[in-house]
Amino acid sequence: MPSLLLVEDNEDILVMLYAFFEPLGYELDCARNGRAGLEQALAGHFDCLVLDVMLPGMDGITLCRTLREKHNCRTPIIMLTARDTVPDRVLGLESGADDYLIKPFALKELEARIRALIRARERGGGGGTGGAGGELRYADVVLDVPGHRVSRQGREVRLSPTGFRILCELMRVAPALVPREELEHTLWGDEPPGGSALRTHIHEVRQALDKPFDQPLLQTVSHVGYRLACDKDRA
């Protein structure tokens, strides 16, 4: 059965999560602060990590970034937080989280997102390299698939695992368009989380890929999908 590490210091939320997930057959472990969460995440083998952002000892953003950058941990991570602004969500994703859920949240939605992350990882996507081996290039962007690295004009572009997979899918067909439904299916299978999840991840990619540079590449085609296009390829 799926195993989850819950890193949460709120006793009431922990009790609620245990009461919901254990009857469904999930194996649960928990940590009450960020440093304990780091130790348990590195010592155990979990299918998904559920991190609160506001934690004593080490906050969830720092914990996530430490796992991704220092320890190369690719276990799917979903963050829970009361912070509901776009910059807060993007910060969570840029730290390496795969998904982000706002408190108060519906337990069924949390479980659906966890299942989607676990399925994506089993398909070789979530928390992994983002696809088949090789290097993808478009315009001045280079995406190293096995190395899980992106650069533009020789400068590193830092993305969350989900952001990396989005960019990988767009670069495979650039400058062609990827329909929104196709992108959601690639990321989450037949049960996409809905709401603003994809838009938030697209915003993260745009902030990292376009904002520091003169020419924007990531285009939104309203109600249809997304594509990468430089000046020579724009319609």
In this prediction, residue 123 has a pLDDT band, given cuts at 50, 70 and 90, of low
b vs e for 141-162, b when ≥16 Cβ sit within 10 Å of the residue's Cβ?
bbbebeebebebeeeebbbbbb
Taking only the tens place, the pLDDT of each residue in 129-163 is 333 447 899 999 999 887 788 999 999 998 888 88
- Please count the residues of the chain: 235
- With 80 as the cut, is the pLDDT of residue 203 above it? yes
Rounded to the nearest 10°, the torsion over CA 106, 112, 118, 122 is -170
Structure tokens at 35: 């440093």
- With 90 as the cut, is the pLDDT of residue 4 above it? yes
Q: What is the pLDDT of residue 235?
A: 58
Taking only the tens place, the pLDDT of each residue in 60-88 is 999 999 998 888 888 899 999 887 777 77
- Pure H helices in the chain: 11-21, 34-43, 60-65, 86-94, 107-122, 161-173, 180-188, 197-209
Strand 48-52 and strand 99-102: pairing?
unpaired
Strand 3-7 and strand 27-31: pairing?
parallel
Give the percent of the chain with pLDDT over 70: 94
Q: What is the pLDDT of residue 98?
A: 85
Q: What is the pLDDT of residue 14?
A: 94
Q: What is the pLDDT of residue 194?
A: 66
Positive or negative: CA dihedral 29, 57, 63, 112: positive
- With 50 as the cut, is the pLDDT of residue 127 above it? no
